[in-house]
Chain A
Amino acid sequence: MSRQSNRTTDNKKMNSELFTLTYGALVTQLCKDYENDEEVNKQLDKMGYNIGVRLIEDFLARSSVGRCHDFRETADVIAKVAFKMYLGITPSVTNWSPAGDEFSLILESNPLVDFVELPDNHNTLIYSNLLCGVLRGALEMVQMAVDVRFVQDTLRGDNVTEIRMKFIKRIEENLPAGDE
């Protein structure tokens, strides 16, 4: 009994600066390995997706959050539980579309971009694009297809960092043939 409760609260923390600089080293390396920013953006999204696919399990195990009933609830859980748990920040959820299928996450601070300044020859680089991949990958594992992209970024001189998330569809679970 006590063991179980330990496991959910046992969310070890570490210095965010090591995390920030490590991410920086990765982006720097990608910029060296790829010809242009678009390729780097794509690679970051792909790596984020891989992380998201694995992260969702860790998240569900630690957070003991149940199934979300609608997209609004999903948005709240992402902002208030997931971001808080992994990055130590709580973005605000705003700008809902009238249909309720699209919203924005506003990040007041973004640990990924601490110490970062974009050089002029990388003005199409979406530095934190990894986050989009993480969100897309994690939600796909709970049967939600979403479109995630950055619309504002403090690195490019915007006042805030804004991630736009659009619900596309619910993914039907494909049971393997012969499985009930």
Chain B
Amino acid sequence: MMDIRFTKGKSLVLERSLSRPRTEVSLSAFALLFSEMVQYCQSRVYSVSELQARLADMGRTVGASMLDLLVLREKNGKRETKVLNILLFIKVSVWKSLFGKEADKLEQANDDDKTYYIIEKEPLVNTFISVPKENSTLNCAAFTAGMVEAILTHSGFPAKVTAHWHKGTTLMIKFDEAVIARDKQLDGR
């Protein structure tokens, strides 16, 4: 049976317009919250990869909500169908609304047509994080990677996205075979 909670009218959320003036909070508030999240996750895992997986999970929750909001606001409800366009949508629109600027770079791997990179020299989430020596592979931008993964996947471009220390932080996007095959087919028409 459908959940009936939405019909009760106890929440004003549904009444509010989605296109509203941009509101801001301080970066310190976010940095402190994010740091607390990382520490919380850390207290419940045994390895760096588990920690990153948890951060990515939370990122996915954020990405999925953000996608709906942005598609309605910025694209008038229109969804992208091409790989390059969805990547540009992320590099430009998503980044601008979340982080106030475009992502530094978007690149394609030389040797693999499924792999793309979004490169950010100084990602906002890492601004105030210093990685301990013994965990040097930990990159908390795994959170952002999760966000990007959710946005791609929910837009119909299933992919795996991971964060790496390379030229600052590089988010590596690996699309499913089927996505690239479909894109080529669209090109052929």
Contacts and interface: CB of A to CB of B under 8 A. Distances in A.
Interface of A: 11-19, 21-26, 28-29, 33, 43, 47, 50-51, 54-55, 58, 62, 85-88, 111, 115-120, 130, 154-155, 157
B25 A19 contact: yes
Given A17-B66, A119-B5, A120-B5, A11 B25 contact: no
Nearest to B58: A25
B10 interface: yes
Given A88-B23, A117-B13, A119-B5, A47 B36 contact: yes
6 nearest A-B pairs in the assembled complex, by CB-CB distance: A25-B58, A12-B27, A25-B61, A13-B24, A86-B29, A16-B23
B28 interface: yes
A21 B61 contact: yes
B37 A116 contact: no
A118 B33 CA distance: 21
B33 A115 contact: no
Main secondary structure of the interface of A (DSSP, over half): helix
Interface residues of B, number: 38
Interface in B24-44: 24-30, 32-34, 36-37, 39-40, 44
Given A21-B61, A50-B36, A15 B100 contact: yes
A176 B63 CA distance: 48
A17 B69 contact: yes
A111 B11 contact: no
B165 interface: no
A13 B27 CA distance: 5
Nearest to A22: B62
Contacts of B13: 115-117
Given A25-B58, A117-B13, A15 B22 contact: yes
